[in-house]
Homo-oligomer: A and B are copies of this chain.
Amino acid sequence: MMVIVMEPQAPMEQVSDVLRRLEDSGVVPHMSRESGRVSIGVTAVLPAPEQEVLRAMHGVAEISGVRQPFKLASREFRPDDSIVNVGGVEIGGERFVLIAGPCAVEGEQQVFDAARAAAASGARILRGGAFKPRSSPYAFQGMGLPGLRLLKAAGESVGLPIVTEVLHPEMVGPIAEYSDMLQIGARNMQNFALLEAAGRSDRPVLLKRGMMASIEELLMSAEYVLAAGNSQVVLCERGIRTFESYTRNTLDIAAVAALKQLTHLPVIVDPSHATGRRELIRPMSLVAVAAGADGLIIEAHPCPDDALCDGKQSLTPEMLAEVGNALPPVCAALGRTF
């Protein structure tokens, strides 16, 4: 992969000339604008003479390679932080973002109650599962599209955009109609057809790390989405599988700090799946801020003991409010707002 970095003041027509030249060569350009200058990435390797021509074009400052196996996701391609816009809420900027809501949409009362609790605690995006990936074919598989419509309505009732999981490539379209953000779950992190379908969507994507995926594999999966044309990707650390069984998974908090160094994409943390234990959500939420994460996604339920799934790790409205209250001072200590 190569990056063509334009001069800081290069006028738009010079950028267009370069884009046209690249397209004429049959390669797909990926444009990134930051700190007032434009970079153009191409995932192909251009022949030396063609590089010479490009280097000589007006407005071109330099042409460089990207050594990391992930290209468009790397800080080599884009040094500045990316900001992803989810229905008006920015993830990756100065303001720390809390996403909250139930594991699964179970009914109107439940999801509207959950939405109110989320909003009241300072959450700015509502989460909820309508299509659930379950280990067992006999377990509750979610309410499907009717559930998604309820989630949308619940979000609107409190003014929050929503995020929900998509399981199959062919569902990207129908779900994108209702959902402000598409979640790709841990089990599907290497479902490449799904990554490509999400990459062709214009909805932002929340990509969760597989429970046994390496940091590099997560970035390579993000690269599938980016390479397909969708630059709105948020990564999510949600715990990896280890020998320790006290917690459901092991929160790999160093991965969050490492990702922030390796990629410009926003990174959030899911302490619910990472620990599987309600009593660890609050400290792990503060830990996420300290590690440099851009946000949190937390499971909360009006009545966790009745939840159809993941009740043990879901917060009550009161506990969620406590997390919301605990975040601001830690965010402030890290130079962020909440």
Q: Which A residues contact B (CB, under 8 angstroms)?
A: 1, 43, 69, 71, 133-138, 167-170, 187-188, 190-193, 210-212, 214-217, 220-221, 223-224, 227-228, 240-247, 250-258, 260-261, 274-275, 277, 279-280, 283-284, 286-287, 289-292, 329-330, 332-334
Contact = CB atoms under 8 A, between A and B. Distances in A.
B43 A138 contact: yes
B214 A245 contact: yes
Contact of A287 (B210, B212, B291): B291
A155 B330 CA distance: 33
A246 B258 contact: yes
B244 A257 contact: no
A188 B188 CA distance: 8
Contacts of A217: 135
Contacts of A274: 254
Contact of A255 (B138, B227, B244, B279): B244
Nearest to A220: B135
Contacts of A255: 244, 246-247
Contacts of A289: 290
A242 B71 CA distance: 26
B250 A279 contact: no
A290 B286 contact: yes
Given A242-B252, A260-B283, 17 more contacts: A133-B192, A134-B192, A135-B217, A137-B192, A137-B228, A138-B223, A167-B193, A168-B193, A170-B170, A212-B212, A215-B246, A250-B250, A254-B280, A256-B283, A258-B280, A283-B291, A290-B290
Contact of A275 (B169, B170, B187, B254): B254
A140 B246 CA distance: 25
Given A211-B212, A284-B257, A133 B190 contact: yes
A169 B43 CA distance: 28
